[in-house]
């Protein structure tokens, strides 16, 4: 109620008329509206693009930052999904210790095929760190695929690699 219905191409019930952002029933986030605008513009120009919302980054710009993408553990449980989780605490990161920002963690969820279905990051630069995990959820990558990528040291992004390794009991720096 109070929102304009659109299809996956952001087109309203009137052919050639598009709507995006806060006037449609999608997540009220600036980055979502921006992507919808691109999709609507491309479709208006004859490109066949559809919006998807399974990998929308959710960010809270507090101290520490909080960010998540995909399913939460509670949502996976409610859906009756079989999943595994991995986590890694910032306290074990050399970079976090060096910049005195040890409060934080990364938590990742994978389905029974090892595909990333959700992730949460709390801590310094969490909203930036979430990008790698958003890409993984969007593309349906596995924990092994992303975890096998060399992450530079010392960085906060090592927590992502370690959390992914933790799913398979292979995190070598977990405390």
Contact at 8 Å (CB) between 107 and 143?
no
Q: Where are the alpha helices (DSSP H) in 11-58?
A: 30-44
DSSP-assigned letter for residue 152: P
Percent helix, percent strand, percent coil in the chain, to nearest 5: 35, 20, 45
Q: Report, as residue numbers or ranges, the catalytic residues.
A: 153
Residue whose token pair is 């605490």: 89
């Amino acid at each position: 109620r109070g929102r304009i219905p659109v299809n996956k191409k952001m087109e309203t019930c009137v052919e050639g008329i598009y709507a995006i952002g806060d006037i449609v029933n999608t997540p009220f986030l600036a980055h979502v509206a921006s992507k919808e605008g691109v999709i609507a513009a491309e479709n208006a120009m004859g490109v066949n693009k559809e919006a998807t919302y399974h990998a929308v980054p959710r960010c809270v710009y507090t101290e520490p930052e909080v960010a998540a993408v995909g399913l939460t553990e509670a949502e996976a449980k409610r859906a009756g999904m079989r999943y595994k989780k991995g986590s890694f605490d910032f306290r074990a990161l050399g970079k976090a210790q060096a910049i005195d920002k040890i409060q934080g963690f990364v938590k990742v969820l994978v389905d029974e095929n090892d595909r990333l279905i959700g992730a949460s990051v709390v801590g310094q630069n969490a909203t930036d760190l979430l990008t790698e995990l958003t890409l993984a959820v969007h593309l349906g990558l596995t924990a092994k695929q992303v975890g096998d990528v060399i992450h530079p040291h010392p960085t906060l992004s090592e927590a992502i690699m370690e959390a992914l390794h933790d799913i398979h009991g292979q995190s070598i720096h977990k405390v």
